[in-house]
Structure 1
Amino acid sequence: MSMSVPESPSAPQELVVRLRAGVRERRAVRPRGPELPQVEDTFVPSGDRRVPVRRYRPGDGPRPLLVFLHGGGFVLGDLDTHDRTCRRIAQECDLDVVAVDYRLAPEHRYPAAVEDAAAVLRQVRPDAVAGDSAGGFLAAAACLALRAEGGPLPAVQALICPNTDLTLAHPSIAEKGTGYGLDADALAVFVEEFVPDPAERRAASPLHADDLSGLPAALIVTAEHDALRDEGGAYAHRLAQAGVPVRHRVEPGLVHGFIQGMDLTDPAAAAAHDRLFADLRELIPR
């Protein structure tokens, strides 16, 4: 999905409205994905509210549980946008998957989405947490929040093209921020809507946490032509320095968002999906 700001952009929130309309249109024609025996929409309690979730089960009997946090720049996405992705993970990896419909900006700014993600992890106690793009940010941030409170952590965090640094200061932002689908100007709008105060963005970023020790083993998959490539790599490096087991791979020739349906048209993306599924099958304890 291409995310770029028009040459004559309107107010940022009007841009978000238009992008959401485009997401709904694409969602309506996207293939459904594999049929599964059990798919159920339900809620997870979080204080005085309930977080909507969708649980996917590829069959009866016990199996590991993965919580999935969708991408969309903190302003886009829901349980339907990543439905096919979650169905495929459940089927290909023989996992129960719980997808989270966390609160979006600008209606609900930081840390609302992190609070929702952490609440679900706290309640369902998954074996793994995964997310793409903004969902990768939320997976990492939720793990940091749970570690800070001394609660149980997943065994694995799988971050796919993650946004880990809201300062957007890494070289790939400029190098790959035009013409590769996820544009730097759109990223700036998303971050502004999520954390309006620039002075707060560094402290909110997982990459700039003071201490990354004691976090779950990490699978970090980035893409060669992704504006977020370098900050994903930097997070992998910092985790490894802190003693966290890390598997990091840069997928050659691919762009941001390759996890979302690109396997249908691009053999390289399909092969990257297969590698991701193999990693999840290997790394998540059974």
Structure 2
Amino acid sequence: MSKLMNRVPIPVQAGFARAVFGLPTPVKRLIAGPPVRIDGQELALDAQLLLLLDKLADHELVRGTPEQARARMARAVPLASGPPIEPVAVRALELDGVPARLYTPDEDTDALLVYYHGGGWVLGTLDSHDNTCRYLAREAGVKVLSVDYRLAPENPFPAAVEDAVAAFRHAHAKAADLGVDPDRIAVGGDSAGGNLAAVTALVTTRDGGPAPAFQLLIYPGVDSTVRRRSRELFGDGFFLSSADMDWFCDHYCPEVDLRSDPRFSVLLATDLSGLPPAYLATAGFDPLRDEGEAFGAALAAAGVPVTVRRHRDLIHGYITFLGLGTRFREATAEAAGALRTGLALARR
């Protein structure tokens, strides 16, 4: 099946996927099979259908070399992300040598989100999260600065952290050039990008600032030293696997002793007080679920205003599946609303 699908042009595959997701609910249920229920949660039909299509196409998030995995991701992105979201103005930038892309919505705004894409610190590009950034810009009414930080294994830990922090500091220093209020700059990201956003907030706060005004953390990886229950429950068959997580960590931080560094496992930071307010979302069927929620609890215990939201019916990666069905967009819309509110409250 995978060899056959590889011969089909991407636009045709994308059209087929959208057609399947556009079928009546009873038909989609018939195709997807009986509901999946684990840990008191029922998997969303859209998520179950996506996993089935992935299985039929023999798709794996990581397989082979990083170069091969990147090529597969590049082919897969148009299938799930959907057509470009408009109206959003886009232009390329460079932040102290770090490539970036600025998204400006069709409304006046002086708020900015510095965004770090997911991909396990090994995969992901400005293009892989283009529609995600477009969506957040339009729906949250903020400018979005997407950061093309260095990837592993060519640039192992802490290269991505260095780029992430440098990008935020550059955005703050050049706020006037970007047309934004330096007191209304948030950091955000999904998965590994959520990790980098949280680490950037920690590093800049502990250094005495300037620090972000808000954190948008979407199913972040925050502790690579402990295997929690959700990793055992959802480590196989739910898009991101336990084996994938090992592959990513081995490439990003091959020195195991360094994985307890709070710039990698931010949950292990001895002091989280004073960090900016946060919206932290997890997915119920995600091996990263429990560590993300543990980080949310740690933020709250440190006195940080935080909203922790578990989307009980979703899987890892949902913020990049905007072109399929409706459930993934619903969850992403909630994140956009939280971002809009968080930065509105940051206005001085």
Instruction: Using the TM superposition, give the Cα deviation of residue 17 of structure 1 relative to its aligned residue in structure 2, in angstroms.
Output: 2.1
SS of aligned partner of 1:256? coil
One-letter amino acid of the structure 2 residue matched with residue 144 of structure 1: L
Q: Is the 8 A contact 1:3 1:183 kept in 2?
A: no
SS of aligned partner of 1:214? coil
Matched, 1:71 2:129: no
Alignment of 1:11-90 (within 5 A): 14-28=64-78, 30-45=81-96, 50-59=97-106, 61-90=108-137
Equivalent position to 2:267, from 207, 229, 246: 207
One-letter amino acid of the structure 2 residue matched with residue 38 of structure 1: A
Distance, in Å, in 2 between the alignment partners of 1:3 and 1:196 is: 22
Post-superposition CA distance 1:144-164 (Å, at most 9, x none): 111222121111101001000
Post-superposition CA distance 1:115-169 (Å, at most 9, x none): 1010011111252111000000000111111122212111110100100012242
- For normalisation by structure 2, the TM-score amounts to 0.75
SS of aligned partner of 2:216? strand
One-letter amino acid of the structure 2 residue matched with residue 31 of structure 1: G
One-letter amino acid of the structure 2 residue matched with residue 113 of structure 1: A
Counterpart position of 1:224: 284
Counterpart position of 2:161: 114
Q: Is the 8 A contact 2:61 2:69 kept in 1?
A: no
Distance, in Å, in 2 between the alignment partners of 1:270 and 1:87 is: 13
Instruction: Using the TM superposition, give the Cα deviation of residue 16 of structure 1 relative to its aligned residue in structure 2, in angstroms.
Output: 1.8
Distance, in Å, in 2 between the alignment partners of 1:15 and 1:179 is: 21
Pick which of 22-31 and 239-248 moved more.
22-31
Alignment of 1:80-159 (within 5 A): 80-125=127-172, 127-159=185-217
Post-superposition CA distance 1:168-204 (Å, at most 9, x none): 4211111111110100011001001111111110123
Instruction: Using the TM superposition, give the Cα deviation of residue 4 of structure 1 relative to its aligned residue in structure 2, in angstroms.
Output: 4.9
Post-superposition CA distance 1:3-57 (Å, at most 9, x none): 5556xxxxxxx43222111011123554342233521111011xxxx00000011
Gaps of 5+ in 1: 7-13
Describe the shift of the 1:162–1:37 C-alpha distance in structure 2 as closer, same or farther (beyond 3 A).
closer
Counterpart position of 2:340: 281
Q: Is the 8 A contact 1:36 1:56 kept in 2?
A: no
Distance, in Å, in 2 between the alignment partners of 1:200 and 1:175 is: 27
Q: Is the 8 A contact 1:63 1:94 kept in 2?
A: no
Q: How many residues align?
A: 274
Larger Rg: 2
More strand by share: 1
Counterpart position of 1:254: 314
- For normalisation by structure 1, the TM-score amounts to 0.91
Gaps of 5+ in 2: 1-53, 173-183
More helix by share: 2
Distance, in Å, in 2 between the alignment partners of 1:211 and 1:120 is: 23
Distance, in Å, in 1 between the alignment partners of 2:109 and 2:240 is: 38
Counterpart position of 1:239: 299
Distance, in Å, in 2 between the alignment partners of 1:74 and 1:232 is: 17
Distance, in Å, in 2 between the alignment partners of 1:60 and 1:244 is: 30
Distance, in Å, in 2 between the alignment partners of 1:209 and 1:17 is: 33
Q: Is the 8 A contact 1:4 1:185 kept in 2?
A: no
One-letter amino acid of the structure 1 residue matched with residue 205 of structure 2: R
Q: Is the 8 A contact 1:3 1:186 kept in 2?
A: no
Instruction: Using the TM superposition, give the Cα deviation of residue 222 of structure 1 relative to its aligned residue in structure 2, in angstroms.
Output: 0.2
Pick which of 202-211 and 233-242 moved more.
202-211
**CA-atom RMSD in angstroms:** 1.7
Describe the shift of the 1:210–1:18 C-alpha distance in structure 2 as closer, same or farther (beyond 3 A).
same
Counterpart position of 1:11: none
